[in-house]
Amino acid sequence: MRMPKLTALLTATAVFTSVLTLAATAADVHVLNWKGYGADEPWAIAAFEKATGNKVVNDFFNSEQEMLTKLRTNPGLYDVVMINAAFNDQAMAEKLIQPIDTSKLSNYADISKDKAGSPMLDHDGKVYGVPWVWGLTALAINEKSFDKPPTSITEMWNEAHKGRVVIRDDAVEAVQFGAIATGQNINDIKDMEAVKAKLTSLMPQIKTFWSSENDWNQMVASNQIDIGTYWSGSADRAKTHFKLPVSLVIPQEGAVAWLDAFSIPVGSKNVTGAEAFINYMIDPKFYVEWVTKVGAPVSANTKAVEALPEDAFNRKVMGDPDVAKRIQFQAPITDAQREAYLALWQQLKVDVK
């Protein structure tokens, strides 16, 4: 039976309207993050997509500088970006990210006050980054190479490990590591010559410079290395998920601490989807599953940490007041400092070759 013209028109209009509504509320959420860092876990993506109807499209970077470059050269492409808080100022100053309406994030109220109030993320009362997780760049060891874990950063210089030591290929992190090794404040280095001398003396120990979790894990899996700098969450993943003989060591001299946060880029085409994704990422349920299945850094959500077993590393060790006294959180650095660190690091790498 043919439909009367008016009825057909109304029906077609209703269908068209429902499609538009669906498109407006459920669309792609383009996420820029480190590869293998929570946001691209298949089970997490599946759960988020089922709950919201949004589809997650992941893209990755291997350094903060690459992340900033991707934001600069692809305006409007990304809806969510994960930024180390120390780089949030730069991203905001370049108008790469926009303020976030935290009232749309039901889990935001449970973010620890010190993290939520970080001046690196909150500018003039506007939130440009939602604290997600924090962790350390400390030492990790190949358990096969040690009878008992070392306690000092000086173990990296022990000649017994010559040719079996690794350090991340990152100028800022390397210089800050050198600052800790020389007893200095990583955010206020007074004696760069001491840092240079310390790092220069380390170069004969170095097997290679790593840039990704996969690099580090493959080397320990093939028993090529004894010790090296590593991220706390990555060490947890190596042990929990990949069953590698890896242990994290927080040296008595201290470690570099960092805070990772989610931001929404300027020009995002799906702010609503971005807000939903960020809220999901800071949810305790997601975090506990991430830690249990894969291994992860410490959540900035206090309820998420409290949901872990009392003896969990991220609760017992990373929450230890004695550890808190030894760690130094990265703060933003100037372009001049970054250029100086990079020049020093490049020269050191040339010399080691």
How many C-beta atoms lie closer than 10 Å to residue 134's C-beta?
Answer: 24
- Does 321 fall in a domain? no
Indicate whether 6 belongs to any domain: yes
Tell me 110's DSSP state.
G
In a domain, 184, yes or no: yes
Q: Are residues 195 and 63 in the same domain?
A: no
What is the spatial distance between Cα 62 and Cα 60, in angstroms, rounded to a whole number?
A: 7
Q: Is residue 18 part of a domain?
A: yes
| 8 A C-beta contact, residue 213 and residue 233 | no
Same domain for 279 and 143, yes or no, is no
Q: Is 51 inside any structural domain?
A: yes
Q: Report which secondary-structure segment, H or E, holds 314.
A: helix 313-316
Give me the pLDDT at residue 131, please: 98
Mean per-residue pLDDT pooled into runs of 10, the chain (353 residues):
40 38 63 95 97 96 94 97 96 97 98 96 95 97 97 98 97 97 97 97 96 95 98 91 95 96 98 98 97 94 96 90 93 93 94 64
Domain identity same for 47 and 112: yes
Distance CA 310, CA 312 (A): 6
Domain span including residue 70: 2-134+258-315
51 and 173 assigned to the same domain: no
- Would you say residue 324 lies in a domain? no
Length of the chain: 353
Q: For residues 30 and 316, what is the distance between their CA atoms, to the nearest angstrom?
A: 35
140 & 117 share domain? no
> 192-202 and 335-352 helices cross at what angle (nearest 10)?
30
The token pair at 112 is: 């620890």
Q: How far apart are CA 284 and CA 109, in angstroms?
A: 12
The predicted model scores a pTM of 0.84
DSSP state of 111: B
Same domain, 128 and 11: yes
**Total tally of structural domains belonging to the chain:** 2
Question: Does the residue 110 lie in any domain?
Answer: yes
Q: Is 320 part of a structural domain of the chain? A: no
**Neighbour count for residue 289 (Cβ, 10 Å):** 16
Q: Do both 173 and 121 map to the same domain?
A: no
Residues 41 and 162 in one domain: no
One domain, residues 199 and 246:
yes
Given a contact cutoff of 8 angstroms between Cβ atoms, the answer to whether 184 and 194 are in contact is yes
pLDDT of residue 16: 38
Q: How far apart are CA 152 and CA 149, in angstroms?
A: 9
Triad 45, 62, 276: Cα angle to 5°: 30
Residue 175 sits in a domain whose CATH number is: 3.40.190.10
Residues 6+ apart with CB under 8 A from 128: 88, 91, 92, 97, 98, 99, 100, 121, 122, 263
Q: Based on the fold, state whether residues 164 and 127 are members of the same structural domain.
A: no
Same domain, 144 and 185: yes
| Separation of alpha carbons 192 and 322, rounded Å | 28
Whether residues 54 and 75 share a domain: the answer is: yes
